[in-house]
Amino acid sequence: MAEARIVRGATSEGEQRARRRRRRAWLLATVLLLVSVGIGIAVGLLSGDEPEPVPDVARWREVAGLVLSIAGLLGVLVGGVIAWRAGVFRGLSGWPTVGLARHQQQLLTRQATGKVPADPARLPLARALAHRLALQGKLRLGFVGLGVQQLGQALRADGGGGLALPLLGLVCLLAAVVALTVQTRRAQRFLVAHPDPHDPA
């Protein structure tokens, strides 16, 4: 955002560093997402190709697990499209905190999520950040889809190590959904409490 570039202490060098950090963070998140999906599919395929020694897993669990895995994958794809169309991935280099020092970024984030009172001098910048944070809620469907996929894998597991990984992934994804929900609601409350005076609505 343009406001970030006129904040004292923001430099073009700082902007470039922040831009690189943000690109790396999104690249890592994308890689983790794709790896999780790939692991889920691979585990499903491998477990389906195993010879059927003694069926430790009931047939209904296998069918239900497969259906959940497919539904979860569809949720990831649909969630990705929704997030893309909402603009979650656009303008990442123009994130409102670009060029700010770390302590300034943390303070602005706390303001935009209502944890500390907003500084009137930084209100436009905090409002811009709150808007971007509220948009992150569009990622929830993708995380829910991954969680459903992990639940499907857990249903198809016969216990032991095969059950631990999907359950761990499910817990982490549930925590991510809760964190995103809390952050989104706080940012939305901030925007309601501090409307843009130039917005005709």
Q: Report pTM.
A: 0.63
Output the pLDDT for position 47. Answer: 57
Residue 161: pLDDT over 70? no
Q: In angstroms, what CA-CA distances link 57 with 11, 48, 65, 172, 182?
A: 60, 12, 11, 25, 37
Output the pLDDT for position 57. Answer: 67
Residue 87 and residue 152: Cα distance in Å, rounded? 30
Asked whether the CA dihedral 138, 140, 143, 147 is positive or negative, the reply is negative
Could you read off the pLDDT of 90-100 as tens digits, one per residue?
A: 766 667 777 77
Average pLDDT over residues 64-93: 86
Contact yes or no for 156/62 (Cβ under 8 A): yes
Could you read off the pLDDT of 184-195 as tens digits, one per residue?
A: 999 999 999 988
Q: Can you state the percent helix, strand and coil of the chain, rounding each to 5?
A: 75, 0, 25
Could you read off the pLDDT of 1-54 as tens digits, one per residue?
A: 434 443 444 445 666 666 666 666 666 666 666 666 666 665 665 555 444 444
